[in-house]
Amino acid sequence: MKLEERAKKIKLILMDVDGTLTDGSIFILPDGEEIKAFNVRDGLGILMARQAGLKTGVISGKTSRTLIHRAQRLKLDEVHEGIQDKKAILEEILKRNGLNHLEVAYIGDDLGDLEVIKCVGLAAAVADAHPLVKQNCHYICRHEGGRGAVREFIELILTAQGKMDDLENRVKHLLDPPEERN
């Protein structure tokens, strides 16, 4: 099945966090709290996907208050952290949402993502992903993790579904000064 055909079927976009939504760096504060840096463009991509009617979510092997805060701001539909068996969580998500594997896209970067990557309808790897992850994906992003790869992947899906132009017009309309809208 061609990439565009796969992308047209997507109803849910799931993402890994460390190395995918972030560049993999973890900053440790003096009190031991770990924080991560997220890319604002990836965040806008997630909001665009939601505007287009797609569900979004994360499956992370680690836990982080920073992730929970970011997920709330982006209004993610699915937030799963501290997960060692990502495929088992995927199966629960599919059942709860009445979806099949072909309706799910996943983007990841490392070996912990492989089992999910191998069974979803559209799988992507960030540019700096582990070689084995890249070998098993339908799409390899030009951007690295935490540097716009998630946005690139989402735009690929929205373009295939014919939703990108409408979103661009809506965003442009929101950014135009009111006196220029007449």
- What does pTM read for this prediction? 0.91
Question: DSSP letter string over 76-119?
Answer: -SEEE-S-S-HHHHHHHHHHHHT--GGGEEEEE-SGGGHHHHTT
- Residue 66: how many CB atoms within 10 A of its CB? 17
Model confidence at 182, pLDDT cuts 50, 70, 90, reads very low
Does position 181 have pLDDT exceeding 50, yes or no? no
Specify the DSSP element, H or E, that contains 148: none
For residue 16, report the phi and psi dihedrals to the nearest 5 degrees: -75, 165
pLDDT, tens digit, 9 for 90 and up, residues 79-135: 999 999 999 999 999 999 999 999 999 999 999 999 999 999 999 999 999 999 999
Give the pLDDT of residue 167.
76
Model confidence at 165, pLDDT cuts 50, 70, 90, reads confident
Give the pLDDT of residue 18.
96
Sequence spans of domains, the chain? 3-170
Average pLDDT in the 58-77 region? 94
Identify the sign of the CA torsion 138, 123, 96, 48: negative
Could you tell me the two tokens for 152? 């690139």
Maximum pairwise Cα distance, the chain: 54
Cα–Cα distances in Å, from 17 out to 27, 39, 95, 105, 126?
15, 11, 22, 15, 11
Average pLDDT in the 146-173 region? 88
Average pLDDT in the 8-36 region? 94
Q: How far is CA 11 from the centre of its chain?
A: 12
Give the pLDDT of residue 33.
86
Length of the chain: 182
CA atoms of 163 and 25, how far apart (whole Å): 33
Record: fold of 3-170 = Rossmann fold (3.40.50)
- Residue 52: how many CB atoms within 10 A of its CB? 17
Give the pLDDT of residue 150.
98
Model confidence at 166, pLDDT cuts 50, 70, 90, reads confident
Strand partners, 64: none
